[in-house]
Amino acid sequence: MTQSEPRQPLAVVFARSNELSNSARSAVYSASTDPAGWRLAIFHLGSRSLNQPLWVLNDPAILVEIFADGYGVKGACQTLAKAFGDLERSIILMGSDSDSQSVAAELSSRTGEPIFLGVYHFDGSSIEVSNLDRSKLAVLSINFPAVALFDAIPISMGKPYDAIGEEIAYELASEGVIPLASTGSNAANDLSDASFVLCGGGGIGEPAAWKQLEELSQALGATLGATRVVTDRGWASDDIQIGASGQRIAPKVYLTFGVSGATQHLSNVELPDKVISVNTDPGCQMVAVSSLAVISDAASVAKELLHLVKEDGNAN
């Protein structure tokens, strides 16, 4: 293993049909949180743009965009070497889609650097790697060049609350559940019939933040549910408890704030494809079953999202 100092991280991602894989998005998010700065290469394969723009593109990252109908693995590595020149001294973050895997193998064999799989997070000096069941994380220091392939769960970490709020709003809008100028009038009264459920758990922290969550669910037009920790604390009534000793739900979109995803909770949730969770613990079960996991403070994100939705409502 080379002893040379690694250079700024480089995120290398592949867009097919204008889409980046979730794992590729995670790699970009993680690279962009490195205070030392980072660089980005996007290979557009048969496409010219991204359906869901990357929020980081507004940042002054060094960006190389490559447009091609197809690509050869060796050609992709040569393009990168030409653009960045110091691949053998870089920490290279990629998704775990098949395009990324083939190029990662070639990059690693060229530079002689190790490949890490199942990576959740990179913070500039260490990476967090999951077990297969995602129950535990190993934190490994990487102060040497390496190729890191991100796990498939898109995880947003270390982003400002307003950017997170926008990202969640975008996800909800893409499912057609918000409106963004919603008045709340479309929320189902009955949790068991609701297509959009917002659930709060113990991680919301305090009664005032719970009140804000109630307001958010109304503004979004979501039906509000709670975990048993919340009903036990008396913040919400028992009849909105979701889980083994509460209600059964089968929504199209499930948005949670500070919910751990305990078995007794999830056993009565028919999980939809779109599960968005805000939690401070990247290793919890709720994160493992999410299509978008936001690793951040639940009350602060809820506040920002509420602000955004209200602002949008006023604008319309």
Where along the sequence are the contacts to ligand FAD (CB under 6 A)? 201-203, 205, 227-230, 241-246, 258-260, 262, 264-265, 278-281, 284, 297-298
Question: Is the separation of the CB atoms in 115 and 108 below 8 Å?
Answer: yes
Give the residue with the Cβ less far from ligand FAD, 111 or 277.
277
Give the residue with the Cβ less far from ligand FAD, 165 or 201.
201
Nearest distance, CB of residue 253 and ligand FAD, angstroms: 19
Nearest distance, CB of residue 232 and ligand FAD, angstroms: 8
Amino acid, res. 224: L
Give the residue with the Cβ less far from ligand FAD, 95 or 203.
203
Structural tokens at position 27: 């790699």
Give the residue with the Cβ less far from ligand FAD, 71 or 257.
257
Give the residue with the Cβ less far from ligand FAD, 19 or 281.
281
Nearest distance, CB of residue 104 and ligand FAD, angstroms: 31
Nearest distance, CB of residue 22 and ligand FAD, angstroms: 21
Nearest distance, CB of residue 231 and ligand FAD, angstroms: 8
Q: How far apart are CA 290 and CA 161, in angstroms?
A: 19
Give the residue with the Cβ less far from ligand FAD, 51 or 245.
245
Nearest distance, CB of residue 285 and ligand FAD, angstroms: 8
